[in-house]
């Protein structure tokens, strides 16, 4: 599937708009890509819970863990499902609330200048071939549209929030991902 970016939206990604975003600072630069993982409930895949969470519609009674997180207001720009399907929650020119307290190269507040991509998965479960292929394809499109994002400015959530976050985790194959970026 070829992905293009028009008006800061990835085409043909499915759009489910999240209210959990705001304007970037006035300079509006976009020069960091952050890779995350998410599964809801933890370790379970499929269903609507991730989309519900990013749109503040998570049913806190559906699972005990949801009582802890239902009130949080978070989002990402993109979610790549296990089967490679992509959902976009926030246009790239807006500040999605994905990184939280974070720092990259002595600059705090990475949400201000980054794009966040969530992979449906968990730290210790292998990601799928479809996810890696889609992530590489999407990354190439993002790097073309936002040339400030270079290979050395692609990081994991754990890189910008060490000690607080561990994703994308030990199961994420950075070497494979970087190899796919070069093809």
Which of 73, 118, 120, 182 does the annotation list as catalytic? Answer: 118
The answer to whether the predicted template modeling score (pTM) of the entire model surpasses 0.95 is yes
Tens of pLDDT, residue by residue over 60-113, are 999 999 999 999 999 999 999 999 999 999 999 999 999 999 999 999 999 999
d(CA 86, CA 173): 19
Residue 2's pLDDT is 63
β-strands 21-23, 9-11 pairing: unpaired
Query: Is there a catalytic annotation at residue 27?
Result: no
* Per-residue confidence band for 3, with pLDDT thresholds at 50, 70 and 90: low
Adjacent-strand bridge partners of 96: 21
At residue 124, φ and ψ (nearest 5 deg) are -115, 20
**Domain ranges within the chain, ordered by starting residue:** 28-45+74-181
The backbone torsions φ and ψ at residue 176, rounded to the nearest 5 degrees and listed phi first, read -65, -45
- Count of CB atoms within 10 A of residue 127's CB? 22
The CA-atom distances, in angstroms, between 138 and each of 41, 104, 115 are 26, 22, 12
Task: Determine the Cα–Cα distance for residues 94 and 133; give it in Å rounded to an integer.
Answer: 25
Q: For the chain, what is the mean pLDDT?
A: 96
What CATH architecture does domain 28-45+74-181 belong to?
Answer: 3-Layer(aba) Sandwich (3.40)
């Amino acid at each position: 599937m070829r992905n293009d970016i028009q008006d800061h939206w990835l085409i043909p990604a499915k759009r489910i708009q999240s209210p959990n975003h705001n304007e970037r600072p006035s300079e509006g630069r976009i020069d960091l890509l952050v890779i995350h993982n998410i599964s809801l409930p933890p370790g379970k895949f499929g269903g609507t819970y991730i989309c519900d969470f990013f749109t503040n519609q998570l049913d806190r009674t559906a699972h005990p863990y949801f009582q802890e997180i239902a009130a949080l207001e978070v989002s990402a720009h993109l979610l790549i499902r296990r089967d490679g399907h992509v959902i976009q929650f926030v246009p790239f020119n807006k500040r999605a609330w994905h990184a939280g307290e974070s720092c990259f190269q002595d600059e705090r507040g990475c949400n201000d200048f980054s794009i966040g991509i969530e992979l449906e998965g968990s730290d210790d479960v292998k990601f799928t071939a479809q996810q890696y292929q889609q992530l590489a394809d999407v990354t190439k499109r993002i790097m073309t549209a936002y040339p400030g994002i270079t290979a050395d400015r692609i990081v994991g959530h754990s890189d910008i929030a060490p000690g607080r976050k561990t994703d994308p985790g030990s199961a994420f194959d950075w070497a494979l991902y970087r190899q796919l970026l070069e093809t």
